[in-house]
C-alpha cells in the first residue's frame, strides 16, 4: 500500500469513487492511505453528502486504522456516535452538506488508512440538519460506500 504525504492544517478532499478498494475484515471498502504529517496529534474527517437535496442524500461512515513506523497496526478508530440526538451536520460556504468528526492520534502513529464501514450501506441515520439560513430539523439519510472525504491534520 502506498501512503501519500499530506500537509498540516490544509483540507484535502478525496473522492472515494476514484480510490482503490481492499478487504477490511468481512467487507470491501474504498480507502485513503496517508503518512501523518510531523507534529500532528489530531485529524479531522469531513464526510460530504451525495445528492442535491437533503431528503435523498447519502454519506459515508468513516473509520480509521492507525499504524506505527514499521506499518504494524496500533488501533482501529471510529467516530463518536451521537445517534440519539442526530449526527450534527452543517453546510459549507458552497452549500454542501457534511458531517465532521475528529480523531485523537496515538503518539506513535505514523501511517493512517481511512475507509468506510461498508456493513452500514443502505442503513438509515438520523441527522440534525443545520441550515445555513438558520434553524435546524431532523432528517434521515442513508449510508453509502462512495462519497467525498475531506481530511485535515492538526
pLDDT bin (cut points 50, 70, 90) of residue 124 is confident
| pLDDT of residue 152 exceeding 80 | yes
pTM above 0.85, yes or no: yes
Q: How many domains does the chain have?
A: 1
State the Cα–Cα distance between residues 33 and 5, nearest whole angstrom: 9
CB within 8 Å of 144: residues ≥ 6 apart:
50, 58, 59, 60, 121, 122
pLDDT at position 136 is 73
Cα angle, residue 83 at apex, residues 82 and 84 outer, rounded to 5°: 95
Q: What does residue 142 show for φ and ψ, rounded to 5 degrees? A: -125, 150
Half-sphere exposure of 114 (CA within 13 A, CB side): 33
Q: Over the stretch 7-19, which tens digit does the pLDDT of each residue have? A: 999 999 999 999 9
Sort strands 12-15 and 148-153 into parallel, antiparallel or unpaired.
antiparallel
Q: Over the stretch 51-110, which tens digit does the pLDDT of each residue have? A: 766 667 888 889 999 999 999 999 999 887 655 566 777 778 887 888 888 999 999 999
- The more confident residue out of 83 and 29 is 29
Domain that holds residue 121: 4-153
Residue 96 CB neighbours (<10 A): 13
**Is 43:102 a contact under the CB 8 Å cutoff?**
yes
pLDDT at position 33 is 97
Which of 3-7, 25-29, 103-107 has the lowest average pLDDT?
Answer: 25-29
Amino acid at each position: 500500500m502506498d501512503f501519500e504525504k499530506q500537509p498540516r492544517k490544509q483540507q484535502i478532499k478525496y473522492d472515494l469513487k476514484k480510490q482503490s478498494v481492499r478487504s477490511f475484515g468481512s467487507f470491501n471498502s474504498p480507502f485513503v492511505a496517508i503518512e501523518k504529517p510531523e507534529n500532528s496529534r489530531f485529524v479531522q474527517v469531513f464526510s460530504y453528502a451525495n445528492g442535491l437535496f437533503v431528503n435523498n442524500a447519502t454519506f459515508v461512515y468513516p473509520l480509521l486504522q492507525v499504524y506505527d513506523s514499521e506499518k504494524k497496526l496500533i488501533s482501529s478508530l471510529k467516530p463518536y456516535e451521537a445517534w440519539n440526538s442526530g449526527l450534527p451536520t452543517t453546510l459549507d460556504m458552497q452549500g454542501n452538506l457534511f458531517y465532521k468528526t475528529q480523531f485523537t492520534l496515538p503518539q506513535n502513529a505514523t501511517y493512517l488508512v481511512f475507509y468506510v464501514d461498508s456493513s452500514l450501506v443502505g442503513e438509515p441515520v438520523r441527522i440534525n440538519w443545520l441550515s445555513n439560513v438558520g434553524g435546524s430539523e431532523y432528517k434521515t439519510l442513508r449510508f453509502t460506500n462512495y462519497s467525498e472525504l475531506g481530511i485535515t491534520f492538526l
